[in-house]
């Protein structure tokens, strides 16, 4: 069974897709048989297409993202607007098939940890069913400590011990961005807190040894 990493977040738009695509790119560059998936999305397929581009054709777009809906609202509601239902066993079955093909599987959720993805399930339910190692992505800004701690609290204790946190640096950091990592380490193991600088379109930064070291630790 493949090692499975599940990327969730404190909210929508915090950088989950960026991290999923970059981590998959990094692993594949290291000759690891790894891919990323975003099984469910709403409001278009831009995120899924970013992952598809990062995979260089390893998977079809429909393999990366089987369930997609037009309305820019929670996937559960977006599916209902199209008279469709997304059910947990179907999503788990799709991911299980991918686990048989690859050594490392990166699965990205939609929205925050408890955002409803389908009928009676959310990203937390997927994490538990897949027994995945969670990565919580958050924007490094004022107020994020509360959001991260609430997200961690929502995970069962066994999964909290496997959780890692990635603070994504915004283009224009506020004053709290400097102090957040240290403050967060008072509540959470500092060795499992990571910071990704704002890359913009400068993906050459992935060759930076410090960033490569971070990705190695994230994938363990």
The gap from C-alpha 84 to its chain's centroid, in whole angstroms, comes to: 24
The answer for residues whose C-beta is within 8 angstroms of residue 189's C-beta and 6 or more apart is none
Q: Is 25:34 a contact under the CB 8 Å cutoff?
A: no
The residue annotated as part of the active site, out of 16, 38, 141, 164, is 38
For every residue of 116-142, DSSP letters joined together read EEETTEEHHHHHHHHTPEEEEEEE-ST
Both tokens assigned to 143: 């107020």
Let me know if 38 is a catalytic residue. Answer: yes
Residue 79 phi/psi, 5-degree rounding, is -65, -45
Q: What is the CA radius of gyration of the chain?
A: 16
What are the CA-CA distances from residue 46 to residues 24, 26, 51, 65, 123 (Å)? Answer: 17, 21, 9, 11, 20
Q: Is 41:29 a contact under the CB 8 Å cutoff?
A: no
Residues labelled as active-site residues: 38
């Amino acid at each position: 069974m493949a090692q499975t990493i599940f990327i969730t977040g404190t909210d929508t738009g915090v950088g989950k897709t960026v991290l999923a695509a970059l981590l998959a790119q990094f692993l594949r560059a290291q000759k690891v048989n790894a891919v990323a998936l975003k099984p469910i999305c709403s409001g278009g397929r831009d995120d899924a297409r970013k992952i598809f581009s990062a995979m260089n054709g390893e998977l079809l777009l429909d393999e990366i993202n089987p369930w997609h809906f037009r309305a820019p609202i929670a996937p559960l509601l977006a599916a209902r607007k199209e008279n469709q239902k997304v059910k947990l066993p179907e999503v788990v079955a799709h991911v299980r098939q991918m686990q048989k093909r690859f050594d490392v599987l990166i699965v990205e959720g939609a929205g925050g940890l408890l955002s409803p993805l389908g009928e009676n399930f959310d990203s937390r339910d997927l994490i538990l069913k897949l027994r995945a190692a969670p990565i919580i992505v958050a924007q490094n800004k004022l107020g994020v400590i509360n959001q991260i701690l609430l997200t961690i609290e929502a995970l069962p204790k066994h999964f909290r011990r496997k959780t890692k946190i990635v603070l994504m640096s915004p283009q224009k950091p506020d004053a709290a961005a400097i102090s957040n990592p240290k403050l967060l380490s008072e509540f959470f193991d500092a060795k499992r807190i990571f910071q990704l600088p704002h890359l913009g379109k400068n993906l050459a930064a992935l060759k930076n040894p410090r960033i490569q070291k971070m990705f190695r630790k994230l994938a363990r």
